[in-house]
Amino acid sequence: MHRVAIVGATGYTGVELLRLLVGHPGVEIACVTSRRAAGRPVAEIFPSLRGHVDLVYVAPEEAPLAEMDLVFFATPNGTAMRDAPALLDAGARVIDLAADFRLRDPEEWARWYGEPHACPELLAEAVYGLPELFREEIRGARLVANPGCYPTAVTLGLVPLLEAGLVDAARLVADAKSGASGAGRRAREDLLLAETADSVRAYAVPGHRHHPEIVQTLARFAEGPVGLTFVPHLMPMVRGIHATLYAELRDPAADLQRLYETRYAGEPFVDVMPAGSHPETRGVRGANVCRIAVHRPVGGDCAVVLSVIDNLVKGAAGQAVQNMNLVLGLPETMGLEGPALLP
């Protein structure tokens, strides 16, 4: 039984990790940390975990993190990069659910996140944790950068087209919508129910932090520069991401349905839907799955890919558990087999 800890286990991704790990047969949650909640039982803050988790939050500096087999960081950007080096030196594995190790270039990281990177020497070692693309690199890795939620949906949706060389990589468009939980569990006026209900709004149109992360990965499969217009939107819902992706086809006669079915054949957490389908976010709520449908409207030269995930599961905690399974040599699907929640 592997012993794991969660640093920052009071946010939405932290409590989602707890929900998934309490029933995982291969690990024991040995420690959960929070400065704000130190000394309080987990079940007091999250009654949904009563009867499942009897742990008490401890302050990070008091937690025996170096004794763990693996440590999850479900913390704000800038935390894991300060603490990970010592844990790695002690022999623990680290999976960071924030952005600290996603970008390879420390100068680009500083440009998007507003501070110098604390351990740039680890950026080359960190493995980008998208198993459908980098499974063999993740197996046994010491340090995994869990992808962002938007990047997961967009990247899985576009990679088959780029791998096959079927589209103009300089003219990609990602129109993406997210539920409010993607903004985290802190209080913000613009996320109040009265501010978000019955309304849809775009945000960060001049540039979103996930843009360089998406482009960095897509360029590896395009084997060259990628031009991406990425526009995120906030939807009046709690969970879910719906990415509508557009790409100009070089060969309009290509069999896109067969391409996607072949690319993701055997992938336990990517579901390529039948031709003509329109996946919904509610169809993946609570499940570690990305559902994809591919279209060529009116038989034209534009491919339209619909990619949906639960931002807290395949877009965060579920993918982190999938990565943990690979890192620790456990079956990749262990603890993640449950279907989506409906309604």
- Contacting residues for 180 by C-beta, under 8 A, at least 6 apart: 191, 196, 234, 235, 236, 237, 238
Out of 31, 149, 290, 302, the active site residue is 149
The whole-angstrom distance between residue 70's C-alpha and the CA centroid of its chain comes to 18
Q: Is 149 a catalytic residue?
A: yes
Q: Is 48 exposed, middle or buried (0-12, 13-18, 19+ CB in 10 A)?
A: exposed
Measured between alpha carbons, how far is 266 from 135 in angstroms, rounded to an integer? 13
The whole-angstrom distance between residue 222's C-alpha and the CA centroid of its chain comes to 21
Rg over CA atoms, the chain: 20
Tell me the three-class secondary structure of 235-304, residue by residue: CCCCCCEEEEEEEEECCCCCCHHHHHHHHCCCCCCEEECCCCCCCCHHHCCCCCCEEEEEECHHHCCEEE
Catalytic residues: 149
